[in-house]
């Protein structure tokens, strides 16, 4: 079903902004997305009328807050099609979720000489936690290379799966190139060999619906703020049996069953991994964001974004001197590019004056930049609320920048 973009845009107060007197053209959605009014309301409503801690008091507000918080967990469970809410752990974001797996699963089950397989297009958050783990336990990081289009080289992936491989940690969708990895196939090859799999789903959750049971991944991580929810909240899905076998990540309140100075008994899942007062308002906001996305339909959003991607690819490629970086057959609405003779940072500053917000830099993927031999790229990343007219404004702004730098 075609979505009514103009009508939906009214759900996002941020989209009505003007910068330097010009309408804002926000094309930085891979960094973070805007929040619809219903999400803002859910958060402010909690603070205005429902502030309380969760899982503690017996008073009215505490019970109400606990219910709202746990309702969100159920919304997330349905969203990922997990078996149980015990498999849904609230974290600070994708990065926090990956660090949790590295420090809990990794330190408990990986030893010297074991191998972790990642890809050449990973975000730093799916590289550095594993490097830290390698330093701690002596395991080894193996990197699946990609081709000039920014696609994973399949045969190399298969070659890197060895009897030493203990974990595959792979992004579903590349944040700097837009590449969609064949994640179901990737997981299957690993699972057939008894290897655990973590999926970095940060960019994937706005691309298509996720079914962790069908995917059969062991872990799936995503962030609230990239799916129109608040910052400071994310999710780690983990298979129950695996989570139960893992030691806690952080110690503190809420994650314990009983504490004496002699011995502490840990709480049941998912609380074992949620030490301290959680991001309550943010979790409630995430629940509202997921319900909002479901009310529009991910497939409907994806159809509109595919149109935008095709249009954007066409109009950007038509500009002399523009080179698209990341030209995978399967990709999401992320357009990374450079313009001959203009450093991306200068381009970002110049188009900003036309009200256009794009990201410039290495996008936390320095190895990707190195591979394509660029110091940085400009990146336009699109959400369902973007329009072809906005892409036209970007194109005009690039021409103006070229004029200044000619």
Partner 1 sequence: MSMRDELYQQTILEHNRNPRNFRKLEGATHVAEGYNPLCGDHLWVYMKVNASGIIEDAAFEGSGCAISKASASMMTASLKGKNTQQANELFEEFHKLVIGELKPDEHPNHLEKLTVFSGIWQYPVRVKCASLGWHTMHGALEKAKTVSTE
Question: Among all residues, which ones are annotated catalytic?
Answer: 364
The smaller minimum CB distance to partner 1, of residues 149 and 343, is found at 343
Minimum CB–partner distance for residue 362 and partner 1 (Å): 6
The correct pick among 74, 211, 299, 353 for binding partner 1 (CB under 8 A) is 353
State the Cα–Cα distance between residues 249 and 246, nearest whole angstrom. Answer: 9
The correct pick among 343, 367, 387, 392 for binding partner 1 (CB under 8 A) is 343
Minimum CB–partner distance for residue 16 and partner 1 (Å): 22
The smaller minimum CB distance to partner 1, of residues 101 and 351, is found at 351
| Own/partner long-range contacts of 386-393 (Cβ < 8 Å, ≥24 apart) | 386/5, 386/26, 386/27, 386/29, 386/305, 386/308, 386/333, 387/5, 387/308, 388/307, 388/308, 388/311, 390/25, 390/27, 391/308, 391/311, 391/312, 391/315, 391/316, 392/315, 393/25, 393/354, 393/355, 393/356
Considering the rule CB under 8 A, would residue 376 count as an interface residue with partner 1? yes
Dig out the tokens for 139 from the structure: 């395991």
The smaller minimum CB distance to partner 1, of residues 264 and 366, is found at 366
The correct pick among 83, 185, 314, 345 for binding partner 1 (CB under 8 A) is 345
Considering the rule CB under 8 A, would residue 349 count as an interface residue with partner 1? yes
Considering the rule CB under 8 A, would residue 362 count as an interface residue with partner 1? yes
Segment interacting with partner 1, rule: CB under 8 A, options 132-140, 284-292, 308-316, 355-363: 355-363
Considering the rule CB under 8 A, would residue 405 count as an interface residue with partner 1? yes
Dig out the tokens for 277 from the structure: 């007062």
Q: Which of 188, 192, 236, 225 is nearest to 82 (CA)?
A: 236
Segment interacting with partner 1, rule: CB under 8 A, options 64-72, 179-187, 200-208, 348-356: 348-356
Instruction: List Cα–Cα distances, 30 to 22, 116, 187, 354, in angstroms.
Output: 22, 26, 24, 20
The smaller minimum CB distance to partner 1, of residues 74 and 353, is found at 353
The smaller minimum CB distance to partner 1, of residues 376 and 380, is found at 376
Hey, which residues does 140 pair with through a beta bridge? Answer: 115
Segment interacting with partner 1, rule: CB under 8 A, options 133-141, 209-217, 259-267, 347-355: 347-355
The correct pick among 264, 346, 387, 392 for binding partner 1 (CB under 8 A) is 346
- Cβ neighbours around 70 below 10 Å, total: 16
Strands in 187-250 per DSSP E? 196-200, 219-223, 234-238
Where along the sequence are the contacts to partner 1 (CB under 8 A)?
20, 342-346, 349-350, 352-353, 360-362, 369, 375-376, 404-405
């Amino acid at each position: 079903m075609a979505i009514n973009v103009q009508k939906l845009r009214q759900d996002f107060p941020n989209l009505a902004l003007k910068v330097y007197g010009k309408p804002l053209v926000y094309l930085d959605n891979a960094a973070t997305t805007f929040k619809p009014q219903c999400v803002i309301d859910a958060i402010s409503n909690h603070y205005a009328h429902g502030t309380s801690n969760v899982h503690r008091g017996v008073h009215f507000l505490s019970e109400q807050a606990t219910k709202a918080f746990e309702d969100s967990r159920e919304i997330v469970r349905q969203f990922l099609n997990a078996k149980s809410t015990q498999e849904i752990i609230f974290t600070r974001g994708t990065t926090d979720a990956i660090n949790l797996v590295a420090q809990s699963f990794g330190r408990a089950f990986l030893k010297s000489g074991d191998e972790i397989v990642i890809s050449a297009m990973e975000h730093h958050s799916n590289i550095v936690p594993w490097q830290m783990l390698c330093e701690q336990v002596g395991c080894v990081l193996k990197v699946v290379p990609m081709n000039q289009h920014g696609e994973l080289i399949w045969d190399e992936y298969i070659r890197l799966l060895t009897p030493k491989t203990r974990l595959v940690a792979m992004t579903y969708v590349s944040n700097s190139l837009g590449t969609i990895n064949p994640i179901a196939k990737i997981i299957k090859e690993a699972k057939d060999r008894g290897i655990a799999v973590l999926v970095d789903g940060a960019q994937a959750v706005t691309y298509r619906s996720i079914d962790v049971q069908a995917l059969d991944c062991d872990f799936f991580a995503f962030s609230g703020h990239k799916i129109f929810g608040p910052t400071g909240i994310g999710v780690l899905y983990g298979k129950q049996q695996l989570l139960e076998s893992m030691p806690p990540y952080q110690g503190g309140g809420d994650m314990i069953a009983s504490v004496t100075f002699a011995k502490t008994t840990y709480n049941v899942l998912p609380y074992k991994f949620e030490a301290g007062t959680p991001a309550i308002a943010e979790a409630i906001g995430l629940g509202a964001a997921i319900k909002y996305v479901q009310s529009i339909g991910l497939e409907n959003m994806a159809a509109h974004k595919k149109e935008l991607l095709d249009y954007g690819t066409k109009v950007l490629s038509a500009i002399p001197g523009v080179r698209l970086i990341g030209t995978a057959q399967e990709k999401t609405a992320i357009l990374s590019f450079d313009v001959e003779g203009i450093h991306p940072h200068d381009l970002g500053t110049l188009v900003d004056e036309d009200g256009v917000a794009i990201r410039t830099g290495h996008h936390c993927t320095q190895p990707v930049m190195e591979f394509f031999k660029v110091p940085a790229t400009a990146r336009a990343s699109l959400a369902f609320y973007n329009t072809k007219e906005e892409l036209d404004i970007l194109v005009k702004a690039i021409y103006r920048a070229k004029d200044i730098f000619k």
